[in-house]
Chain A
């Protein structure tokens, strides 16, 4: 009633009239708003009435409406007294709804809430477990501090309840009580300790959750329950599994020693075996390996593995992170498939899984490389999924697959989603810095993008090119010039600023252009963005220092403009620069160093993954996803150097003898035993580590996944057996351990043969999976094999299995043979000096080959035409009598297939003999040259021809090296014509057309050219083309169409040239190649050659 009074006060007289009219159907529109408010009150009023009525159905209706109010977020707290009366209702649905209400509002109405407590206390004693549980749930959810003691008591009682469901509820209640009153911690830990001992799968998840919430640091509580938890894990409900796995991950990191050191060992031995064939020695080393995995550690890994097959994505992810953080490196690979499977799931799941894969793929490329295609972007993916996939593809890029990835990127660059296109450009930039082989290709591709129509694409390209040029400080003036040309058309500030910076930084390389750009900037200075202005000032300063004659006035003008700029940053910068470069009386001290300050060589930026720094968070965690330390995040500790005492996990008490176990005859027991083992056989065999003893065997029966009745029977029999064991001696646990162990080993012996059979096919499979590189091949060999390896480690003393080890060695050596073969076939193994980098699987490698090499029908041939155009390498004047000339013999290089053969004719035109002529230092240092042997002595007027091999990596960048004699050193450089970087290949016309069809778009350059009349015959054309480029003629059925095919020397990319003659001596010249820059250069050269008479 008070509410309506209040309302009357507020609403005034008119509203009161309206209220009075409420019941009549006609009401004026002016009071409509008031009426609504009123109706609201009115509704609550009648809800109250309904709740106070005698009819259950009315009450229920009222409660349903109240719940609707709560759901909408409306306040229904004033109904509390009326609602709380119904807490003792017999109607179970009504009661539940009242509970919902109570939990929602008890905090606000603490005094009234107390009225309901006695009802719950009574319900806690109810014979129906559902009612007991729900009473405890509600009681613990009422957040009223006064009832803490009552809650404590209830939890203690419930934790001893016969029903596991009630005990589960108790575990949940622990967390609620703890969040309400932290002082109860000690008592609650006692309850947790008790519940941790619980053997019900129902309780396990919830109590571990409580443990994590209340006392995550009390690792000691876990020791005794560790094995039990591991064994129960499979049968725990899925949500509990996630929590337990995450807790056990933390636990294991504190209790076991790192299995990763052993890996290094593993790889080392393996590598050794790769090089020398003495397998004897290797076997010894394996046996002498210092690391033996703790059986409990193994137990955890083994028992979580089946969960990778869970339908719950959270479970799969948590197992994956467990393996990532705990498993020996070579076993981590088993999670890959499952993670890739999760990518089929919902968008949100994909997002999280991709984030984790991104982090993993930085450290372990090999894990996801075979699944590279699963990360290809689809146009329907949402933007953040796309960028994550891009991130992963970039991480996975290596020498072997880069061409495939770059081709894929080309598609993405054209995407309509411009943000994504920009991200792709960044990714290309990263690939370019990471893989030096493709730096030129990428750079040139990016330069082409500068003429793109989209502004964001252009801007991003400029920024990335800037970074790339910085990391590749060499003669890039071409590109800088090109960018200067584009400068006027680019409007994105960041891009303009980048170009200006480049101009300034490399102003000495473009001495003519830079001042001109500055001149343009001076005109538009006032209209530019801040960032552009700053760079303009920088450019001016740098030019002033290097070329003050031309730019002095301009610089002063710009500095004056900057002095009066609105932005104080620019004013400051201008003032600073002026003092620095224009020496004045008082500020002369610094200006001496102006050059060194402004033109200091700057370290190149490192382009790296955004996921680089995420790996210190536990995978799959919220912190990892956000890259922020989330509240309540528990750090994973580092492995202990020495494992803490492992006996703490031993459990003395074996399963108590259950009274209701019927006496079973000896015969039946052994039978069921064998059944039990045969059920578990494979698992046991595969995973080894059976020393965990009787506890292990008894509890693994419950995890055997059989139907309930069966497993009960089994465990009862098991306990029967153990109890009979314990009959013999009081402390039988030790003995029964050894007994079961021996029993299992005998089992193993009998089973050995089939096991070996089984282990063979995966080994064969994996050998076909893995190529190139020994360590990875070994690491990813099927887990069953490797774990059996560690098994033989742990059982070193038993007579177990020399034959098996032998077997392993055999398989391995077989693999090695095939590896070597493969290496022989690989066309360009020298591209990568380190074999480790080539760690791609055979599969993808072959794909790479098949994609770039197309088909075996296309063969590289030697050219029929060898030009005799020689170039001067060293003039005899500069060479103090030594002169050198070089030409390209157009023969495949003998030394390495990726090198271009060069012949050098050395002549001594001095009057004394020259001694020890050899090749000295080279630049860039990475330049791959096969030098000629030192010429001991060259007599006057004598000449000698030597051949070299140079790997130009398909770029026309000059190879600089030193030609040394005994006394002197001469810097020389060989600049290859683009046509020399190709070698001819023969193919049929059909093949040519097919290949040409694959190389369209960015890969195609064409121009219409006018040919000299002398060149119109087909012979002349061939001659001219062949003189420019080392390509092969493709026989053609059409008279007016000439085709030539070649392949770049270094990367083997196809270069297809076609010339279509038209009327009046014009022709369409088309070049198709992946190496688009080579294409355009070749086009230029050919055009020139054909135009000449």
Chain B
């Protein structure tokens, strides 16, 4: 399956290589670099590249390319999914997944990669198991290790590896038993220039942070489970219970994990929490363009729209923009032509606006397309679909845990065409 892995940074240097079978020369990456050169944007490098003897499958995360070398037929998603899992693990271990973090922890990275794949086939990818095999580096542990000479590597086979609940380690103990669930929904939408919604859908996830002693068995029920149209579960969720009763029943992994991701059925109308009034015009012949943008809240059920960030890729002909925001700050990068406006919170009494002029290249004809506006925002304490958790129960353990639920709505890919 996966033969070798090369990590390539933004400037095109291979800074780490690992081989699971016989060694593949790093010159195989030349094909990758070729493709990279051909692509104008980093994202445009094709994820699957064919070379005379190998196949290269790559993912790009945190400005690092993870290039896997394959020698024979394998489902490409298998490799892609695994590579993403590797990145997630690094992030979990080192907090960030940057070139510097990986270089600083090369030994741990190597030990991790060694455990995650055997002969190119995934062996242990569950974070709980890996953490028992190889302890994440912390400052305290590093100090203790240097003094006592003890190691990061566990000596026993993680119990999870053998049990029917491979995602949970045994013997978990906490003094404060707590379980937190975050219901986070994202709105993906395309709004056309007249303000009508072309497409809008809601995707949600329930992220959990469970710190409970022993082997708790949890059930989570919703007030309105019918809202959930399509769901995907963490392996711990019992599918049959869900099918029959629409209840999430599971023995949770220890720590942070994504319990569920869901899609809200498309029959339900999606409430769009913000509206945009825009007037972006370029006049033929003049080197000036007008830019006028106003944001306002709508259908927010009384909750404030926060952390609003507007960004827009202006046409290439725009040289500079001199704008005047009624609140927040804006930046315009004359090289990438990216305009960003950090609005902050929308005050319904005084709507934030950004007005001014854009200067165009002299003599250039007017751009044929108006820019698309991307909007990010957050609304606390509300799930826009109306999904509500009914109750959380725990079985199997005697103590009373502390339970908490948080709702949040965010903009996903929220675009306004102008």
The interface of chain A, by Cβ under 8 A from chain B, is 56-57, 60, 64, 67-68, 70-73, 91-94, 96-97, 99-100, 104, 107, 128-130, 133, 137, 140-141, 143, 163-165, 169, 172-173, 175-176, 179, 202, 206, 209, 234-235, 237-239, 242, 246, 306, 309-314, 316-318, 337-338, 340-341, 344, 346-349, 351-353, 373-374, 376, 378-380, 382-384, 408, 411, 414-416, 452-454, 620-623, 625-626, 628, 630-634, 679-683, 704-708, 711, 997-998, 1000
Number of A-B contacts (CB under 8 A): 264
Ordered by A's residue number, 7 sampled pairs between the chains whose C-beta atoms are within 8 Å are A68-B107, A176-B119, A314-B75, A353-B77, A373-B198, A380-B374, A415-B369
Residues of B within 8 A of A628 (CB): 50
B26–chain A nearest beta-carbon distance, Å? 6
Cβ < 8 Å to A, chain B residues 193-233: 193-194, 196, 198-199, 201, 203, 217, 229-233
B22, B75, B118, B164 pick with most chain A CB within 10 angstroms: B75
State whether A708 touches B163 (Cβ < 8 A): yes
Question: B44, A634: Cβ atoms under 8 Å?
Answer: no
Pick the residue among A239, A337, A408 that contacts B78 (CB under 8 A).
A239
Known: A172-B121, A314-B81, A346-B84. A998 touches B235 (CB 8 A): no
Identify the stretch in B91-99, B109-117, B275-283 within 8 Å (CB) of chain A at 4 or more residues.
B109-117
Q: Which B residues, 30 to 50, have Cβ-Cβ distances below 8 Å to chain A?
A: 40-41, 43-44, 46-48, 50
Among B155, B157, B233, B263, point to the contact of A92 (Cβ < 8 A). Answer: B155
Q: Are A620 and B75 neighbours in the complex by a CB distance under 8 Å?
A: yes
CA distance A704 to B164 in the complex (A): 12
CB nearest neighbor in A for B77? A314
Stretch from B66-74, B299-307, B320-328, B399-407 forming part of the interface with A: B66-74
Task: Give Cα A64 to B151, complex, Å.
Answer: 12
Q: Is the Cβ of A680 less than 8 Å from the Cβ of B110?
A: no
* Contact among A452, A626, A706 with B368 in the assembled complex (CB-CB below 8 Å): A452
Spot the interface stretch: B236-244, B349-357, B385-393. B236-244
Are the C-beta atoms of B146 and A57 separated by less than 8 Å? Answer: yes
Stretch at the interface among B10-18, B175-183, B288-296: B10-18
The answer on a CB contact under 8 Å between B22 and A382 is no
Contacts of B17 in A (CB 8 A): 71-73
A680 with B107: CB separation less than 8 A: no
> Footprint of A on B, CB under 8 Å?
1, 14-19, 21-23, 26, 40-41, 43-44, 46-48, 50, 55, 58-61, 70-78, 80-82, 84, 106-107, 109-111, 114, 118-119, 121-123, 125, 146, 149, 151-153, 155-157, 161-166, 188, 190, 192-194, 196, 198-199, 201, 203, 217, 229-235, 238-240, 243-244, 251, 258, 261, 263, 313, 315-316, 365, 367-369, 372, 374, 413, 415, 417
Expressed in whole angstroms, the minimum distance between the Cβ of A401 and any Cβ of chain B is: 13
Q: A239-B122, A373-B198 are in contact. Are A352 and B77 (CB under 8 A)?
A: yes
Q: What is the predominant secondary structure among interface residues of chain A facing chain B?
A: helix
Chain B, Cβ-Cβ closest to A994: B194
Given contacts A348-B59, A416-B313, A631-B71, contact A707 B251 (CB under 8 A): yes
A71-B17, A91-B151 known; A104-B23 Cβ under 8 A? yes
CA distance A151 to B235 in the complex (A): 35
Given A143-B22, A626-B50, 15 other A-B contacts at CB below 8 A? A71-B17, A92-B155, A137-B118, A176-B21, A209-B121, A309-B231, A312-B81, A314-B81, A340-B230, A344-B203, A380-B374, A408-B198, A622-B74, A708-B163, A998-B196
**Contact assessment for A622 and B75 in the assembled complex, using a CB-CB cutoff below 8 Å:** yes
Report if A376-B47 is in contact (Cβ < 8 Å); known contacts: A96-B114, A416-B313.
no
Within the complex, the shortest CB–CB distance from A102 to chain B, in Å, comes to: 12
How far is B155's CA from A760's CA once the two chains are assembled, in angstroms?
56
Determine the chain A residues whose CB is within 8 A of the CB of B109 once the complex forms.
71
Knowing A93-B153, A311-B258, the reply to whether A346 touches B59 (Cβ < 8 A) is yes
Please measure, in the bound complex, the distance between the C-alpha atom of A365 and the C-alpha atom of B275, giving whole angstroms.
34
Contact A705 B240, beta carbon cutoff 8 Å: yes
B171 to chain A, nearest CB (A): 16
Quick one: given A384-B46, A416-B369, are A246 and B118 in contact (CB under 8 Å)?
no
A705 to B61, CA, bound (A): 34
Chain B residue numbers with a CB within 8 Å of A313 are 77, 80-81
- A140, A310, A707: the one contacting B217 at CB < 8 Å is A707
Beta-carbon contact of B232 and A620 below 8 Å: no
B246 → chain A closest CB, angstroms: 12
B118–A622 CB distance below 8 A: no
Q: Are A92 and B151 CB-contacts (below 8 A) given A175-B119, A239-B122?
A: yes
With both beta carbons as reference points, the residue of chain A lying nearest to B111 in the complex is identified as A96
Contact A130 B151 (CB under 8 A): no
Check A128/B240 contact, CB under 8 A, given A143-B22, A347-B60. no
Contact of B121 among A128, A140, A206, A707 (CB under 8 A): A206
Residues from chain A with a CB closer than 8 A to the CB of B234 are 311
Contact in complex: B232, A311 (CB < 8 Å): yes
Q: Chain B: which residue is nearest A200 at the CB level?
A: B162
Bound together, the chains give a CA A57 to CA B166 distance in angstroms of 33
CB of B339, distance to nearest CB on chain A (Å): 13
Chain A residue contacts of B71, Cβ below 8 A: 631-632
B50's nearest neighbour on chain A, judged by CB, is A626
In the bound complex, what is the Cα–Cα distance between A811 and B156 (angstroms)?
Answer: 60
Do the beta carbons of A625 and B198 come within 8 Å of each other? no
Residues of B within 8 A of A176 (CB): 21, 119
Bound together, the chains give a CA A129 to CA B14 distance in angstroms of: 36
Q: How far is the CB of A992 from chain B (nearest CB, A)?
A: 15
**A175 to B244 Cα, complex, angstroms:** 41
